[in-house]
Amino acid sequence: MNVARVAVLGLGNLMRADDALGMLAVHRLRSHPRLPPSVLLIEGGTLGLELLHPLEGITHLLALDAVEAGVPPGTLLRFAGSDVDMIPVGKSVHLLGFSDLIGALRLTGSAPREIVVLGVQPQVIGWSTELSPSVAAALPELLDAALDQIAAWTHGKPSLPFHTLQQSDLPR
């Protein structure tokens, strides 16, 4: 049996309001008592291909980011399996780099077996070090969803249901 090597990748810019969400989530997960010590937390920021080396050998990748999906601000979104490939890269300034990163990992044969992106619809992407009220209110739900996903991978526990955005739900 292959042991899962789980990583959580926080994406975002700490100086761009709601765009900081993924990075802030990783910061909060560091001290969370439900986080298994074996889980690797990576502050990916706005990096792209620079993350190839840190992700070597990872079997399960959870990416956290603000994702523009045209839904109400603060809505929690989940993309898994083939839906990850279909997230429009224009919906996040980081997903182009993330898409390139996953493509490069696949080309080298070292892509994780499972990839899940958890995001929150931003309200404000501008120069600020504060989250908007709707995104700040969604942060605990994002952390719970992330911990549930990690538990599903590390302990076989089912994750709790929440709004799963399908590709067909995205505005064209």
CATH number, position 20? 3.40.50.1450
pLDDT on residue 95: 54
Domain that holds residue 144: 6-167
pLDDT of residue 143 exceeding 70, the answer is yes
Q: Give the separation between CA 67 and CA 91, rounded to whole angstroms.
A: 6
Does residue 172 lie within any of the structural domains?
Answer: no
The neighbouring-strand residues paired with 114 are: 60
pLDDT in tens, 2-57: 677 999 999 999 999 999 999 999 999 999 999 999 999 999 877 667 777 788 88
What total number of domains does the chain contain? 1
Within-domain flag for 1: no
pTM of the model: 0.85
- Count of all residues that appear for the chain in the document: 172
